[in-house]
Amino acid sequence: MKKTLLFLLYIFGMSQLSAQDKIDQAVQNLENNYTQEKVFLLMDKDKYVVGDNMYFKAFVFNGYGRSAISNTLFVELYDHNKNVVDKKTVFLKNGEGDGTFALSDFLNEDIYFVRAYTTWMGNFPEEFNFMKQVPIYNPASEQKLVLDKNTKWSADVFPESGTFVDQIPTKVAVRLYSQGIPPASWSGYVVDAAKPNEKIISFKNLDQNVAVFNITPAAGKTYKAVIEDNKGTKQTVNLPAVATSGISLQLTGDEKGINYKLKGNGLPQGLQGYSIVGTINNQLVYRANMKTTTNEAASQIPNKVSNDETAVLNLTIFDEKQNVAAQRLFFVNPKKLNLDEPALAFSMNNEPRAFNSFDIEPDGDYTNYTVLVRENLPSENKNDNTILSAKWLTGDFTSAIFNPSQYFEKTSNPEALDALLISEKWQRFDWKTLLEGKTPNFNYKPAKNLSFKGKVTNNGRFIPNKSVNLLLKTESSEKNFVPAVTDDNGFIYLDNIYFDEPLTISYYLNKDKKQNSDTDNLN
């Protein structure tokens, strides 16, 4: 996302920023060195049979917009033993590309994995590569896939902003994790470990991923959450130890922006010296320093920090020693995800091999459309990851989220998405690393289209250090002449080219004036 606005707050006893403190330098490091890409593959099916073609459309983002960093995407198909079954190199134009895997009849019936990444993404943690499980069936295979209906799950609890401070009312998210299908219904309650039979608060899941409850912790007490699914399976999770001093960051949203409250306890100088930093896509959008000696402050961050676009805001509180004191993610959604859906008026002919067509009204804001045609096969356990959920959620978080597309549908529950973000952490950078001035190791440069290496021979002999004229021709293009020079070993290099159909390359050797030019095909 292109940053156009930066808000500095001077109210509630907040002072203007110093010119070059550690946080300023860390932010500069972040903005200059942490531009990253994320990938989503739109696939024509959720499961395949050997002999099928696996079609995919690739979208590469830099933040929330199409990436212009890379022009080449690598897509790989793995078996469950991490052996490469097939791989494709995909040309990207305006952050989009497409490709196909032809599934061999000899593949065993199993779960396979599709991985996609750019060269530039190799400079950052591999966990952010696109990865998708794909079942492939084979009627002739002795090995058969069987749905595991008793998938185990685990749970954890996350206080808002990551702090659990004495006498400060705190919202707590409960998160369920499962490698398969999590229980559709689950609930729980909180107890004091000293009185395990007395329920302090009860809660019920908002969806299959999260629940939420509110509690005011007391110092010296130990709290436990007991979670139980609809089959009677239970798990007990300890809440964090109650801190006698610290701060809590509480966020809510409305049409105008993000409302935040800071509450401290046991702070000798109150909030004096604390600062707030807000980033979106690793770009600074909000900054404030505090001067107040009280333990509370509140204000609003306007939606304009995201250019009035949907985004995830990463808000961090630093103490007077510039250590991270609290962190919170928040979904900025000023337009309420009012997505335009093209009206397709046509009657479907469901006869075998029938022809169907439809028209899309032209829109000046869009030049390209992607149309996905799939079989209408309803599933009891919907687990979809769409381009919207990949753009705003799964592309930036590495933990397993069941059915992430639900958070970006018309019937979505904003409270559930907020609880999910309370349980997440922005891991595309680490403030400790930034404050120390460290940068990523840039071992990989962006791949700009495709590069090829060719060997020039004459009567089977290598021809080193020779000027040649290359003739490039595809079935649909005119002939193109490209001059080149062979290296010491007789090789030439074609960099940054693209073609999506068979390409024939011939070359002409430049000889002495008394000799005729030789023509040959490039090996």
Please classify residue 433 by burial: count the beta carbons closer than 10 Å to its beta carbon, then call 0-12 exposed, 13-18 middle and 19+ buried. Answer: middle
Instruction: Tell me which of 465 and 419 has the higher pLDDT.
Output: 419
Q: Do residues 80 and 172 both lie within one domain?
A: no
Domain presence at residue 436? no
Nearest to 386 by CA among 409, 414, 419: 409
Q: Do residues 131 and 183 both lie within one domain?
A: no
Domain presence at residue 300? no
Domain presence at residue 279? no
Please classify residue 76 by burial: count the beta carbons closer than 10 Å to its beta carbon, then call 0-12 exposed, 13-18 middle and 19+ buried. Answer: middle
Amino acid type, 189: Y
The Cα–Cα gap between 393 and 385 comes to 10
Number of H helices, E strands in the chain: 4, 33
Residue 213 token pair: 């409850």
516: which DSSP letter? P
Q: Do residues 123 and 169 both lie within one domain?
A: no
Domain presence at residue 398? no
pLDDT in tens, 208-230: 999 999 999 999 999 999 999 99
Q: Do residues 50 and 102 both lie within one domain?
A: yes
Q: Do residues 54 and 131 both lie within one domain?
A: yes
Q: CB–CB of 394/421 below 8 Å?
A: no
pLDDT in tens, 262-274: 999 999 999 999 9
Q: CB–CB of 34/282 below 8 Å?
A: yes
Q: Residue 157: give the domain boundaries.
A: 153-238
% of the chain exceeding 70 in pLDDT:
88
**What pLDDT is recorded for position 321?**
92
DSSP secondary structure, 497-512, as one string: E--SS-EEEEEEE---
How many domains are contained in the chain? 3
pLDDT band for 14, please (50, 70, 90 cuts): very low
pLDDT in tens, 467-480: 888 888 887 777 88
Q: Do residues 57 and 118 both lie within one domain?
A: yes
Mark which of 238, 266, 281 sits at the end of a domain: 238
% of the chain exceeding 90 in pLDDT:
66
* Cβ-proximal residues to 439 (8 Å cutoff; 6+ apart), any chain: 29, 33
Q: Do residues 51 and 132 both lie within one domain?
A: yes
The Cα–Cα gap between 336 and 414 comes to 10
Domain presence at residue 287? no
Q: Do residues 78 and 158 both lie within one domain?
A: no
The Cα–Cα gap between 235 and 228 comes to 7
Q: Do residues 127 and 50 both lie within one domain?
A: yes
Q: Do residues 133 and 55 both lie within one domain?
A: yes
The Cα–Cα gap between 233 and 10 comes to 52
**What pLDDT is recorded for position 516?**
47
CATH number of the domain to which 75 belongs: 2.60.40.1930
Q: Do residues 128 and 194 both lie within one domain?
A: no
Helical H segments across 21-171, by residue range:
22-33
Give mean pLDDT, residues 171-197: 96
Mark which of 86, 112, 137 sits at the end of a domain: 137
**What pLDDT is recorded for position 346?**
72
* Collapsed DSSP state (helix, strand, coil) of residue 360: coil
Spatial strand order of the sheet with 234-238 comes to 195-204, 186-192, 223-229, 234-238
Mark which of 200, 222, 238 sits at the end of a domain: 238
Range of weakest confidence among 158-162, 183-187, 342-346, 405-409? 342-346
CA 161: distance to chain centroid?
Answer: 21
Domain presence at residue 199? yes
* Collapsed DSSP state (helix, strand, coil) of residue 220: coil
The pTM (predicted TM-score) of the whole model is 0.85
Domain presence at residue 330? no
Q: Do residues 179 and 225 both lie within one domain?
A: yes
Domain presence at residue 28? no
CATH number of the domain to which 481 belongs: 2.60.40
